[in-house]
Amino acid sequence: MQRKKLLISVGIAAVALLGVSLGSRHYFQTHFHRHVTINGINVGGLTAAQAYEKVSQTKLTNRVYLNGKLVFDGHDQQPVFAKDAKQTVARQLQKQATWFPSRQPHAYTLPLQMDQAALRADMKATLHHQLGQLNGNKRLPVDAKAVWHANRVTVTPAKHGTAYDEAKVMAALRRHQNEPTIKLTAKVQQPLEVDSPTVKKAVAALKKLNNGQVTYQVAGHPVKVKASQVIDKATYQAGKYHFTPVKEAAVIKQLNAKYATLGKKFKFTTHAGNTITTTADGDYGWKIMASRAATTIGQAIVTGRTQVDAKADIYGQGYDTRGLGYGVTKNDGLGDTYAEVSIADQHAWFYRDGKLVASADVVTGKHSSGDDTPKGVWYVMYQQMHTTLRGTGDDGKPYASPVTYWTPFTLSGCGFHDASWRKNWSKTAYLTDGSNGCVNMHPADAGVAFKALSNKEPVIVY
């Protein structure tokens, strides 16, 4: 009998509990939990319709408080929402459906359907000004920083400041901008600490530079260059490397000494088959710009490339400062298209693709006055027809000489041209009756030479 009574009691309790649960379930399917807000307005215990009514009837004061102080006081407005705002509130209520009450706070947003752009811009500007005043004499924090140098990563600790975190205040303003009254709290800006994920990630990325290297192609010659040879210091921020290149990298000096041609003497085989060494004078050739090369190689390393060519890093001098002859291997870097001028022979030879296409007697610069045609390796700057050459003669007087063919190869004004006024064409004329530095040619030969020449080809004078 007692067992039967016990079973009946348990059954009644279970039915009662089920009833309470079902009732609770129904209530919280139709009413918001106690700690729920919409646009900062508490709607706890209200139905969706009641919640919408409360939110839609609460005027926007458009006041902004910062740390309890009123910093912006806009005019009151009646909020305007989209036509489906009621349905939006109903959907927000459906998200909370539970069996029992919840103390978990939930903040929902019901977007305004009104032009607030100017008002919000004013709020933002005012808040920025207020924060500027508050931070006027305060100290900014300094993040912990990882720096790579000479295959070592050093991390400097963070320095705490006293300035408020403006970015977080502005972010809070955006989050609460639909609320009738906006209350913000400014907190001191915190720096990145040594043990922060950001700094740890930077340290790991920078350590990879210890093994960083790239193949630097120099005129067809592959050269392995390490990060430590071209990168002075490096940091890693926002997923990218930032580095300071070595100003005068020793490795670039070594490469220039071994491969570059600008300012060097060339081994040159003359028309007669003799091998001579030119002077180091002249503008023909190329050289690697150390600062540019260090940046190119460093960028290749930090972006994971395996090789890069030096072509973009070369420079030259004279009329064309981009450098000439890069990648040319024939004839000690001079190639097989060039002009050859022998001062001793007073003769010029013009080669194209290794074949002699023109040859002529010439008269070079006057030796007795020091106006010798400069020896060295130069290059054709440009070509021009029917022009007038102007300058100052040995007597100090200006001259103007019309020519039909003009091909300059030095910035000082030396070049090939016809000299119809010249009477003395002897092999020794250059000693006391030479030109002002140019290579004078018979009018009949000048046109042939003009056609044989081309821009940027080397001119070897010896």
Assign domain 336-461 one CATH number from 2.40.440.10, 3.40.50.1980, 3.40.1010.10, 1.25.40.390: 2.40.440.10
414 is catalytic: no
What was the pLDDT predicted at 19? 46
Asked if pLDDT for residue 191 goes beyond 60, the answer is: yes
Instruction: List, in order, residues 6 or more apart from 372 with CB less than 8 Å away.
Output: 343, 364, 365, 366, 430, 434, 437
Please check the confidence at residue 51 and state whether its pLDDT lies above 60.
yes
**For the segment 93-143, what is each residue's pLDDT rounded down to a tens digit?**
988 766 667 888 999 999 999 999 999 999 999 999 999 999 999 999 999
Percent of the chain with pLDDT over 90: 90
Residue from 31, 33, 414, 438 carrying the catalytic annotation: 438
**pTM here?**
0.76
Sorting pLDDT into bands at 50, 70 and 90, what band is 2? low
Q: Write down the mean pLDDT value for the chain.
A: 94
CA-to-CA distance for 95 and 90, rounded, in angstroms?
A: 9
Please, which pLDDT band fits residue 418 given cuts at 50, 70 and 90? very high
Asked if pLDDT for residue 307 goes beyond 80, the answer is yes
Integer CA distances (angstroms), 361 to 355, 380, 430, 439, 443, in order: 18, 19, 12, 10, 11
- Exposure string of 234-253, with b = 16+ CB inside 10 Å and e = fewer, is bbbeeeebebebbeebebbe
Q: Could you confirm whether 417 is annotated as catalytic?
A: yes
Top pLDDT among 18 and 166 is at: 166
Task: Check residue 29 and give its pLDDT.
Answer: 83
Domain ranges in the chain? 2-58+78-114, 212-263+284-311, 336-461
Report the C-alpha gap between 59 and 340 in whole angstroms: 92
pLDDT at 100: 64
pLDDT at site 20: 44
